[in-house]
Structure 1
Amino acid sequence: MKPLFVFEMANNHMGDVDHGVRTIRAIREACEGFDDCFDFAFKLQYRDLDTFIHASMRGRDDVKYIKRFEETRLSDEAFRTLVAEMETQGFRTVCTPFDERSVDRIDAHGIDTIKIASCSFTDWPLLERIARADKPVIASTAGSTLEEIDNVVSFFLHRGKDLTLMHCVAEYPTPDEALQVNQIGLLRERYPDCRIGYSTHESPDNTVAVMLAMAKGATVFEKHVVLPTERYPANAYSADPRQIRDWLAAARRALQICGSSERYVPSAAERASLTSLRRGVFALRAIPAGAEIDDSMIEIAFPPSEGQLTANDWSKYSRFVAREAIPAGGPVMHAAVEEQHLRGKVLQAVTAVKALLKAGNIVVPGKSDLEISHHYGMERFSEFGLTMVTVVNREYCKKLLVMLPGQTHPEQYHEQKEETFVVLHGDLTLWLDNEQQRAKAGDVITVNRGVRHKFHTEGGAVFEEISSTHYKDDSFYTDPAIAQNPRRKTWLTYWM
């Protein structure tokens, strides 16, 4: 979704509909060349002046805003003309109502989005009427407490409204030291279900603030605009078309500098630069074709050649078999080996194990190591395997065993260890000396020394093992292929 820029005309149409039309067209021209980066909207303000201003205060020239509002009054027909021009120029239409009758007018004029001014943020009679309109809502938060923002967000989200919150400071113009751009981050973290924006009142020549706001993650921006003439001079916080163009250019530059919010894809040049600084894998001795390459056969040193395995490729999750003979001292090239990388499969297994433990409400002691048994290789872990957490292993031993849906643990026996299993969650089928039995949560099964045992689960299972001391060399598999697999275990310390 592109960032949205909202241009606020407020009363800068000066009560002159022709001047308002010229302003809309001038701002449209200022946006030329930026449509590939941004979406644009134009905003009006509606007040039903005959009811908005109390009868006793109408016509007062000594009250600043009353004089301003009354001098710039427009008819319903004039507002419709401005809305039509906004649509003609390709702008989305936005309007700020300051009273309930103005929301009725927004509905009647077919305006796309309702904007709530900061002064109206907790005007509950007005918010109730806005909530009944079938339109997205943008709300400025200047001067509001977190409790007030919480209440307004809850009010609109509970009613299923599309809500954008705008960080805003209501000083006109706002000095740099009062901009509080970090509030954007606070709003983003506290209200993840809302789009967060920045409504600006700083000096119109200030292009730094929009860059900072973009970097902080704002995606909606609002600024007062003006078309100065001899008759209608600019105020101190509204931007003219040239200043708007500079503002958009700064925002585009910030967007380019900030880049993606997802993890970026490095360029070919960056990859090449990093690879050239890595250590390469070299053969310590001649490696025959067909040999699995292990740590004893290689050394890792700088510099690497193009296409050579590097230290970054070499890990306990990777397996390399020579396709061709590799001479002693020579670089081990990617083209010369068959590669198998299992890190992704291991992470998938850990994620599934966590989910099953959570489903069974199983409490796992903190900082427990995870042992993944992949008897026929990690590539067949979904068929054959088991995951184990050793809680204690002294003269007595306790483990948590996790089997994922569809897994089988191959047949084995122990000569020294006797063990009892308590099923905590899920279903388990066991074979004890080829005799099958089924178990469910709460069942207890004891396996004596020398008894061959095998497990299978259809829907996944978590069971507890309580036993005498576990010894590494006391597991004997009836399938000799398992014992011949030296990489059938993976241990993880940081998995919780």
Structure 2
Amino acid sequence: MPNPIQLGNKLINKHFDPYIIAEIGVNHEGSIDIAKRLIDEAKEGGADGAKFQTYKAETLASKNSPSYWDRTKEPTASQYELFKKYDSFGWKEYDDLAKHCQSVGIDFLSTPFDLEAVENLASKMPFIKIASADITSVPLLRSVAKHGKPVILSTGSSTIAEVDFAMNELKAFGAKEIILLHCILNYPTKPENANLGMIGDLKRIFPHHWIGYSDHTPPDPEMKSLIAATLFGSVVLEKHFTHDKSLPGNDHYHAMDKEDLKVFKKKLKDYESLIGSEVKAPLKSEDLSRKNARRSIVLSRDLSKGTRIQEKDITFKRPAHGISPIHWDEIIGRVVNRDLSEDHILNWEDLTSSV
């Protein structure tokens, strides 16, 4: 199991207790009041962190950058035009939001999309999240790494070689703790494209790193994607968050709200009782079963005192009140020290001390 990592107020040291990121992104649409409301609702729903996205359209996309989202949900054709709508917050607003997070008891987070954002945000956050699209952005990776904070790296649309490259860059420039997030870079992601099985592949390839999941599927009443991701071993869960899922455009259409989050947290508790221990060992509740449902070595015929036991003389039956069949080979050739009847459950006291 990977080494524990402290993410804000939560220690990542076991499965089934995921750190939950309410990805507010720019669903505040430029309103500081809505941004604070979203923080409050993320806390009410049970999230550990309230995360924004910090960018300026001019440094993120060229003016002719085409869209990569579902245009039936968000009709804007240009990345630059869309990002320009929601890049109005400055450092004063982010300071204000960080203080508001602190006042309500939730971690402040914001994904930086340029070097200035890294420098201005790093001191305000317990860890730094890097978006999938920046897994090859060497200057950004190095800038994040030099702050020495835990890094959460999203891996949407990435090859294993690209993930490995990014991790090597981060480690070379100072990052010591890295959590990888499985992600599909579709907005929204169709459930059949979620490919949660890839979480297992990341765990296999990077066994010394914790793995999580960034979800872009539309929320369903059962919150199946987050539950399944947790069952696959995700220790960080990120999902877009809104105060109103009916709002058009941007990231509202594939976001959860506080009620979805409450449903997930409740279901997580239900599943937690089913998961139980991660250490394979008999339970106290199984003591009676071990004693009565397992088998003992039993005589298949009458034996007289002094008889040397042959394999034909014994069988194995329930209950496990005598010698376990695990000692089958040790019993063959031993001598009985008294007359014994057929169906007798053999005990060590019935045998001479030597073969």
On whether the aligned pair clears a TM of 0.5, the verdict is: yes
Pick the structure with more helix per residue.
2
CA distance in 2, matches of 1:278, 1:303: 6
Partner residue, 2:114 = 99
2:208 aligned counterpart, secondary structure: coil
CA distance in 1, matches of 2:346, 2:305: 10
| 1:165 maps onto 2:214 in alignment | no
Whether the 8 Å contact between 1:281 and 1:298 is mirrored in structure 2 is no
| 1:120 maps onto 2:134 in alignment | yes
Whether the 8 Å contact between 2:110 and 2:121 is mirrored in structure 1 is yes
Note the residue ranges of structure 1 that are not aligned, 5 or more in a row. Answer: 32-38, 341-484, 487-496
- Where does 1:271-286 land on structure 2 (aligned, <5 Å)? 271-273=287-289, 275-282=291-298, 284-285=302-303
Pick the structure with more strand per residue.
1
Partner residue, 1:244 = 261
Whether the 8 Å contact between 1:320 and 1:337 is mirrored in structure 2 is no
| 1:144 maps onto 2:158 in alignment | yes
1:77 aligned counterpart, secondary structure: helix
Partner residue, 1:210 = 226
CA distance in 2, matches of 1:91, 1:316: 62
Partner residue, 2:19 = 4
Q: CA deviation at 1:311?
A: 2.1
Task: Please give the root-mean-square deviation of Cα atoms over the aligned residues, in Å.
Answer: 3.8
| 1:226 maps onto 2:234 in alignment | no
Whether the 8 Å contact between 2:111 and 2:131 is mirrored in structure 1 is yes
- Where does 1:80-479 land on structure 2 (aligned, <5 Å)? 80-108=95-123, 110-158=124-172, 159-205=174-220, 207-228=223-244, 235-263=252-280, 265-273=281-289, 275-282=291-298, 284-285=302-303, 299-304=314-319, 307-312=321-326, 314=328, 316=330, 327-329=340-342, 330-333=344-347
Partner residue, 2:39 = 24
Deviates more, 1:116-125 or 1:221-230: 221-230
Letter in 2 for 1:183: M
Q: CA deviation at 1:131?
A: 1.4
Q: CA deviation at 1:172?
A: 1.7
1:43 aligned counterpart, secondary structure: strand
1:282–1:230 Cα change, 3 Å:
closer
1:56–1:188 Cα change, 3 Å:
closer
CA distance in 2, matches of 1:168, 1:255: 24
| 1:44 maps onto 2:47 in alignment | no
* Structure 1 segments of 4+ aligned residues over 6 angstroms from their partners: 53-57, 229-234, 317-322
CA distance in 2, matches of 1:87, 1:321: 76
1:303–1:224 Cα change, 3 Å:
same
Partner residue, 1:454 = none
CA distance in 2, matches of 1:200, 1:162: 22
CA distance in 2, matches of 1:126, 1:20: 26
Letter in 2 for 1:127: L
Report the TM-score, using the length of structure 2 for normalisation: 0.76
Report the TM-score, using the length of structure 1 for normalisation: 0.56
Q: CA deviation at 1:44?
A: 1.9
Query: Whose radius of gyration is greater, 1 or 2?
Result: 1
Q: CA deviation at 1:76?
A: 1.8
Q: CA deviation at 1:210?
A: 2.0
Whether the 8 Å contact between 1:9 and 1:225 is mirrored in structure 2 is yes
Whether the 8 Å contact between 1:184 and 1:197 is mirrored in structure 2 is yes
CA distance in 1, matches of 2:148, 2:95: 20
CA distance in 2, matches of 1:4, 1:29: 15
Letter in 1 for 2:261: I
Q: CA deviation at 1:75?
A: 3.0
Q: CA deviation at 1:259?
A: 4.2
1:136–1:16 Cα change, 3 Å:
same
Q: CA deviation at 1:223?
A: 0.7
1:23 aligned counterpart, secondary structure: helix
1:9 aligned counterpart, secondary structure: strand
Larger RCO (CA under 8 A, 6+ residues apart): 2
Aligned-pair identity in percent equals: 24
Q: CA deviation at 1:7?
A: 1.3
